[in-house]
Structure 1
Amino acid sequence: MTTRLTLVCAALLSAGLTACSSPGQLNGQNAPAKPTSELSIEQRAGEIAQNSLIIDTHIDVPYRLYKDWEDVTKATARGEFDYPRARQGGLNVPFMSIYIPAAFERTGGGYQLANQLIDNMEALVGRAPDKFAMAYSTEDAVAQFGSGKISLALGMENGTPIGGDLANLSHFYQRGIRYITLAHSESNHISDSSYDLRRRWQGLSPFGKELVVAMNNIGMMIDISHVSDDAFYQTVALSKVPVIASHSSLRSFVPGFERNMDDDMLKALAKNGGVIQINFGSSFVTAIANQYSALRKAAAEKAGVPNDAAFAEIFRQQQPYPFATLDTVLDHIDHVVKLVGIEHVGIGSDYDGVGDSLPEGLKDVASYPNLIEGLLNRGYSDTDIEKILSGNLMRVWREVEAYAAKQ
C-alpha cells in the first residue's frame, strides 16, 4: 500500500519531475501521514484527491462568466466551478474552455470573443493571485502543484477564431491557448463537425490539414472532440504527436451518437499515443439520457405546442430526466482500459458546459473524490488512478512540447 508521500511523488514523477519533496514540504505540516492501510476507501479517495495532480481538460467557466458573471474566487450560487469547491475536490489544473459558438463562423467576431474570454481569465488571476495562476506548460502545472493555487490552463473550443490565418495560431499560442478543438457544433473552415450533416470537407479542409501540421510545430495539442469521423482519422494520420479528445465519451454506450468515439477510433487514438478524456454529461454516457431531448420534441409535436422552455419544464415534471450515475462514467473508463489500456484515458468533465445533466455523484468540481473512490472500489491501483487523473494527459502534453522544441 502506498503512503500519501508516494502518491504525491507518483503524480510529480508522471509530470516529468525527477525529485520529490518531503511530506512536510508537500503537505505544509511536519507530522507524518497516517498509514494508508488504516484508512477507509472513502478516506483513501480523499487523500488521493488532495495529494495528486488532477487535470480536467474541459471546464466551461469562461463562457459561463461571460454570460452570467459570478465571483468564482468564493462559493457561488450557480454553476459547477468555484475556488472552494475546486479545492475541496482536489482539482489542480482545469483547462478553461475558450468556447466560441459555431454561429461566429458565419457572423464574424470569434477572434474578438476569444481574446475577451482569455482577458477575463487573466483578470481572474489578477484579482486573486493567492487563489489562481495561469499554467502555460507542464512545468507550470508541476511548479504550482501544492501551492494552494488553481492553475488555469486554456483550451480553445472551436477553431473559428483562427480565421484561416496561421498568424492567429501564433497569437493564441502566445496568449496561452494549449489546445484547439478543431470544430464545434457546425463545420467550419478547418473541419467537419460530428453534429453537422453537411460534410463540406469530407473531413479536414485544406487549411485544416495545414493547421494540424502548424499546431504540431508550435506545440499546441490537437483536440478531436466534436469533429466528424473522417476528420478524426485524417488528423491522427497527419499528426506527428499524440492528440486528445478533451471531452468525449464512448459510442458503444450511446449507439449512433457520432459526437462520441467508437471502438475503432479508440484503437486508432491509442496507436497515435493519444488520450480520451471522458465527458461526464448524462447524455454522453447513457443512451436514454441522450434520447431525452428527442422524446421531448416528439411529445411537444404530438401535443401541438411549441417545444419551448415552458413545455420543457412541464415535460420534465411528468418525465424526470434520466440522470446517469457515477457507475456509468466508471463503465466508460473501464471500457477504454479493457480495449486499449490504462494509458489512454483521463477526465474532461464538461462542467459548466452540459447544463443540468450531470450524473448523480459527479455534480460539480468537489466530486473528484467520488470518482476516485469508485475507481478504488473497482480495483484500480493508485498508480493507475494517477494516470487517469493527470499522468496520461501530462504525457501527451510533454510529447507535444518536446516535438515543438525540436522544430
Structure 2
Amino acid sequence: MHKIFTLLLAGSALFSFGQSIEQKAAQIHEKVFTIDSHTDTPLKFFNGDFDIGLEHDGRKGEGKVDISRMEKGGLDAVFFAVFIGQGDRDSLGHAKAYEKAEQIFEATHQEVKKNSKKAKIATTPKQGYQLEKKGKRAIYLCIENGYPLENNLDNINHFYNLGARYITIVHSHNNDISDSSTDKVGPEYDGLSAFGEEVVERMNELGMMVDVSHASDSAFYDVLKLSTKPVIASHSCARALCDNPRNMTDDMLKALAKNGGVIQMCILSDYVKKLEQSPERIEGRKAFRKKHSNWANYTEEERKVGLRDWYQLDVDFPPNLATVSDAVDHIDHIVEVAGIDHVGIGTDFDGGGGLQDCYDASELGNITLELVKRGYSEEDIRKIWGGNFMRVFEAVAAK
C-alpha cells in the first residue's frame, strides 16, 4: 500500500514538473472563485442598445463586460455599479438623481433577466458560490455616488431592497455625505458630513458595505472611526506607487487592514502608473469636455450621445495604457503593507478601466498568470480573486 501511494505521489510530482506556468495559472484561475468588485457596465444597459448576452468588442467602444467575455475570462461574479454623476445639490437635482438611479436599476434587472440561463442577480455571498457551481455568472449591484439618497436615510433601505449591496459614498465632487478626494473646490466637512455619519450607521445596521473609493483621506478615516463593520475600497490602488489622490497611502492601507477591510486593486491606468498621452488624445478629451459641459442637465437623448462620444474617445484616440505587470506591482505593495488578507480586484471596466494586456473581461486570466509568475500560491490567489472580498461581504451582511 505504501509503495502504491509513493508511486502516485511520484506521478503527481512528474505531472507538476511537466506543467507549464501558463497551464498552472489557467488551472488555478479555473478553480478559484473570482469576483470583480466594480464595473460601470449598467451605463451601457441604460442606452438600450447593449445586450449583455452578446459578445462585444471593447476596442471598438462596445463595452468591456458581457457574459461571453466573463466566461472566457473565467470571471464568476461581478458588481455592476449604478453610477450617478454629481449634479446640482438642490431638491430638483436630488430628485433627478434618484429617478435616474431607479431607471438604471430597472434596466439592469431587465438585462440580466433576459439572460437568465447564463446569469442571475445575486444579493448574498452564498448565492454567488451557488451560481458558480451551476456554471452561471453572479451579478451583484451597487451604487457609485451617494447622491441619489436625497438626504433621506430610508432611501438606503429602498436601494438595498433593489439589490444594492454597497454604496460608494462619494464620487469626483463633494456631495451631501462626504468630501471627495478630487473636488477642486476643496473639502467642505473635513471628512464626513453629519448626514454622512448617519449614512454609515444606517448601512452598518442594514448590512450594506461602505465603499470609501473616491472619498477624501479625512472622510476615509471618519468612516473607519465610525463603522462597526469592515470597510471596502471597491476600486483603488496604492499611492506610494502612483501619486493620485484617488489612491490610498500606506497609513490608510494599514488602517484598512486593522479594520478588517479590503482594497480592491483597480486597473484604470491613471491610478496604476503615470503615463504620457498623445497630443491628439489630450485635445480629443478637451473637445469632449467642451462639447459636454452641461452633463447634469442633459435630456436622456443628450446623455446617450454623450456616453457614445465618451467611449468613442478610446477608439479614435487610443490611450497609452499600463500593463498587468504594473498593476500587480500594486498588489505586491498592498500585500507587503497591509497583508495578503486585505487585497482584491475591482477593474472599473466601462468606467475607464483596462490595461494593455487586460483590456476587457476576457483577459482577466492574465492577472492570475502574473501572480503565479511572482510566486503567489493558489491559496494567495484564491484570497486575492475573491476570498478576501467575500469574507468582508459576509461579515457586513451578518446580523
Q: Which TM-score band (shorter chain)?
A: 0.7 to 0.9
Kept in 2: contact 1:275–1:393 (CA 8 A): yes
Match for residue 238 of structure 1?
226
Match for residue 281 of structure 1?
268
Which of 315, 323, 326 is 1:325 aligned to? 323
Alpha-carbon offset, residue 156 of structure 1: 0.5
Match for residue 214 of structure 2?
226
Task: Provide the C-alpha distance between the structure 2 equivalents of 1:41 and 1:224, rounded to a whole number of angstroms.
Answer: 36
Matches within 5 A, 1:54-73: 54-67=34-47, 69-73=49-53
Of the structure 1 ranges 193-202 and 368-377, higher mean CA displacement relative to structure 2 is found in 193-202
Alpha-carbon offset, residue 40 of structure 1: 1.6
Task: Provide the C-alpha distance between the structure 2 equivalents of 1:68 and 1:388, rounded to a whole number of angstroms.
Answer: 34
Q: Amino acid of the residue matched to residue 361 of structure 1?
A: D
TM-score (normalizing by structure 2): 0.84
Q: Deviations over 1:162-182 (max 9, x none)?
A: 111111111111111000000
Task: Provide the C-alpha distance between the structure 2 equivalents of 1:159 and 1:310, rounded to a whole number of angstroms.
Answer: 24
Match for residue 308 of structure 1?
287
Matches within 5 A, 1:6-405: 38-67=18-47, 69-77=49-57, 78-103=62-87, 105-106=89-90, 107-108=93-94, 109-198=96-185, 199-255=187-243, 257-288=244-275, 292=277, 307-309=286-288, 321-354=319-352, 358-402=354-398, 405=399
Q: Amino acid of the residue matched to residue 100 of structure 1?
A: I
Of the structure 1 ranges 186-195 and 49-58, higher mean CA displacement relative to structure 2 is found in 49-58
Q: Deviations over 1:83-121 (max 9, x none)?
A: 111001111110001101112645231111111111112
Kept in 2: contact 1:219–1:401 (CA 8 A): yes
Q: Which runs of 5+ in 2 are unaligned?
A: 1-13, 291-308
Of the structure 1 ranges 114-123 and 378-387, higher mean CA displacement relative to structure 2 is found in 114-123
Q: Amino acid of the residue matched to residue 157 of structure 1?
A: E
Q: Amino acid of the residue matched to residue 365 of structure 1?
A: A
Q: Deviations over 1:281-312 (max 9, x none)?
A: 111100225xx49x889x86xxxx99315999
Q: Runs of 4+ in structure 1 displaced over 4 angstroms?
A: 34-38, 309-312
Kept in 2: contact 1:164–1:189 (CA 8 A): yes
Alpha-carbon offset, residue 320 of structure 1: 7.4
Query: Number of residues paired by the alignment?
Result: 359
Q: Which runs of 5+ in 1 are unaligned?
A: 1-33
TM-score (normalizing by structure 1): 0.82
Q: Amino acid of the residue matched to residue 307 of structure 1?
A: K
Of the structure 1 ranges 274-283 and 138-147, higher mean CA displacement relative to structure 2 is found in 138-147
Q: Deviations over 1:239-267 (max 9, x none)?
A: 01110000011111222x21111111111
Change (3 A) 1:393 1:164: same
Alpha-carbon offset, residue 142 of structure 1: 1.4
SS at 2:38's partner residue? strand
SS at 1:308's partner residue? helix
Kept in 1: contact 2:120–2:138 (CA 8 A): yes
